Chain A
Amino acid sequence: MKLRQFFLAALCCALLPAQTPDPDAMKAAIQAAQSAGDNAWMLVSAALVLMMTGPGLALFYGGLVRRKNVLNIMVQSFAMQAVITVLWAVIGYSLAFGEACPYMGGFQYIFLNGVGTAPNGDYAATIPQLTFMVYQMMFAIITPALITGAYAERVKFTAMLLFSVLWTLIVYIPLAHMIWGKGGLLNAYLGGKIPVFDFAGGTVVHISSGVSALVCALYLGKRVGYPDQTRPHSLVLCFIGACMLWVGWFGFNAGSALAASGLASSAFVNTHLASATGAIGWAVAEWYRNGRPSVLGIVSGSVAGLATITQSSGFVQPQAAMLIGLTAGIVCYYMVAKVKDKFGYDDSLDAFGVHGVGGTMGCLFTGVFATNKINDALKVNGVPAPLGWVDGNSGQIFNQAIGAAIGIGLAIVGTYLILKLCDILVGLRVEQHQEISGLDVSLHGEEGYNLES
């Protein structure tokens, strides 16, 4: 027994440093551990956001089209994963997050020049700038992919590619820079003139894509056979896609804390609550109107709740998040089921009704419910500044409205001009006979379901 104690003591002496630990070294070790934790969470978040596009959105949209177009709509999302990735690495990241003027970034990060493992303190001080860059890349990928729902089943593949690249450059990047970029016009934290709170991209992603989707639907006109012959072909695919969107959205919103922090937990919980109440809201509205709750309605409600909470996910209390989600479910149901029919536009997969409407509501809700009890990053003279109306800063609703208006305006004008240009250069719509035989066969020479083979 004595011998064993002696050996243990000797072992401890050999392993532990003889002197008391140096406080600086300790601090550095803690920082390194925090940085490693933050980086791990942010890399996972980036992967989750990519999962929203590849399988998530592709399945959600894929199930809503007719089966002759299932491959075409899915590959549109996948094409964004390839094309926007390259665009973002070559110039997109630099123009969005470089520094130049209030409306657009500069060229200092072109070809990812200077983007390495060292953090960029302006945006996220504890993670490599490479992580921040790739996380933002996933947002740039999903945003034009959301728009594909509006021109589904009738757009040329070339036109879709050209449109998406130009749209990312002309609409997405300026908006991302204005709201999130250093020195951006609407950046509440880094020297913007009009402070707009957009935690995870309610304006940058959902208003921009949703409003652009409406412009696309109006410009392109209706599908052949709309509305009587456009029944979704597989709600099973749609359902799986919606489930993946829900999970992926944790990366989208909670990841926007840019750290594995308490704020990330707050955004995570808000996201989950709003998705749940969104599903309930839509289902109840539909139950009331039609006498039964539909599966597509329930999952669409969850997506509406998620899109609407995005902007405020890191600013509001959980109770507000539940209210925001519930409102989103009900309002988006009426937009999609009633208002769309009244105006007669063919927003094929309801990108506007869900993302445009939800995003705009979410932007204004942020002005109402944002509170420094949840997010105290904005400080005036070292004290957390009041954020939204609940903090006594009612003027923030006005700021948020300006942000939404700039997003809507840029989306309308930019999208219209890009569509016009694409129409002249390559033509937007496929030939009618191609549309009737389906884009899978006519554009890709394949079929989604070869049940005889």
Chain B
Amino acid sequence: MKKIEAIIQPFKLEEVKEALKAIGVDGMTVTEVRGHGRQKGHKEVYRGREYQVDLLPKVKLELVVSDGRKDEVVKAVVQSARTGKIGDGKIFIYNVEESIRIRNDERGDSAL
């Protein structure tokens, strides 16, 4: 099993969700986060005073899929979240040791 963690532009969330739904991904966890990579925030000016805003709002999407589905899911996220501009975000992939459905103690791929 793999955990796919994608940090994307907030306004891209709906498109990414649709793309994942289209390939049959059922579950995901979404968190509103703040951060920056190379985009390095922007400047805001209040009454002539400049403020450097480093941490920009982003959305973090976490989903765990079976090993075989990894590439397909990553492709769907990349295609739907991409604008081609700086600030589109990143995807990180982790190995997952175990998954457990709390309701009935099911384990492994069938718990996803």
Contacts and interface: CB of A to CB of B under 8 A. Distances in A.
Interface of A: 227-228, 231-232, 286, 289-290, 294, 296-297, 300, 333, 336-338, 341, 350
Nearest to A290: B45
Contacts of A286: 48
20 contacts: A227-B49, A228-B51, A228-B52, A231-B44, A231-B46, A231-B51, A286-B48, A289-B48, A290-B45, A290-B48, A294-B46, A296-B46, A296-B47, A297-B47, A333-B48, A336-B47, A337-B49, A341-B48, A341-B49, A350-B47
Nearest to A350: B47
Nearest to A231: B51
Contact of A337 (B44, B47, B51, B53): B47
Given A228-B52, A337-B49, 8 more contacts: A231-B51, A286-B48, A294-B47, A296-B46, A336-B47, A336-B48, A338-B48, A350-B47
B33 to A, nearest CB: 16
A297 B44 CA distance: 13
Contacts of B48: 286, 289-290, 333, 336-338, 341
Contacts of B49: 227, 337, 341
A228 B49 CA distance: 9
A65 to B, nearest CB: 12
Interface string B71-85: 000000000000000
A241 B11 CA distance: 30
B45 A294 contact: yes
Contacts of B45: 290, 294
A298 to B, nearest CB: 11
B interface bracket (residues with beta carbon within 8 Å of A): under 10
B48 to A, nearest CB: 2
In the A-B complex, the 10 residue pairs with the smallest Cβ-Cβ separation, listed nearest first, are: A337-B48, A231-B51, A336-B47, A232-B46, A296-B46, A337-B47, A290-B45, A227-B49, A296-B47, A294-B45
Contacts of A300: 47
Nearest to A289: B48
B53 to A, nearest CB: 8
Nearest to B51: A231
Contacts of A227: 49
Nearest to B47: A336
Contacts of A337: 47-49
A69 to B, nearest CB: 16
A218 to B, nearest CB: 18
Interface in B12-71: 44-49, 51-53
A39 B28 CA distance: 66
Nearest to A332: B47
Contacts of B44: 231
Nearest to A337: B48
B41 to A, nearest CB: 12
A228 B44 CA distance: 11
Contacts of A289: 48
Nearest to B48: A337
A318 B52 CA distance: 42
Nearest to B53: A231
B45 to A, nearest CB: 6
Contacts of B51: 228, 231
A289 B49 CA distance: 12
Nearest to A354: B47
Contacts of B53: 231
A289 B45 CA distance: 12
Contacts of B47: 294, 296-297, 300, 336-337, 350
Nearest to A336: B47
Interface in B70-109: none
A367 B51 CA distance: 40
B55 to A, nearest CB: 12
A336 B46 CA distance: 10
A406 to B, nearest CB: 30
A452 to B, nearest CB: 13
Contacts of A336: 47-48
A294 B47 CA distance: 8
A121 to B, nearest CB: 46
Contacts of B46: 231-232, 294, 296
B36 to A, nearest CB: 16
A333 B47 CA distance: 7
A356 to B, nearest CB: 15
Contacts of A294: 45-47
Contacts of A290: 45, 48
Of residues B45, B48, B49, which shows the largest number of chain A Cβ atoms within 10 Å of its Cβ? B48
A300 B47 CA distance: 8
A231 B46 CA distance: 8
A336 B48 CA distance: 7
A341 B52 CA distance: 16
B39 to A, nearest CB: 19
A228 B45 CA distance: 11
A337 B53 CA distance: 19
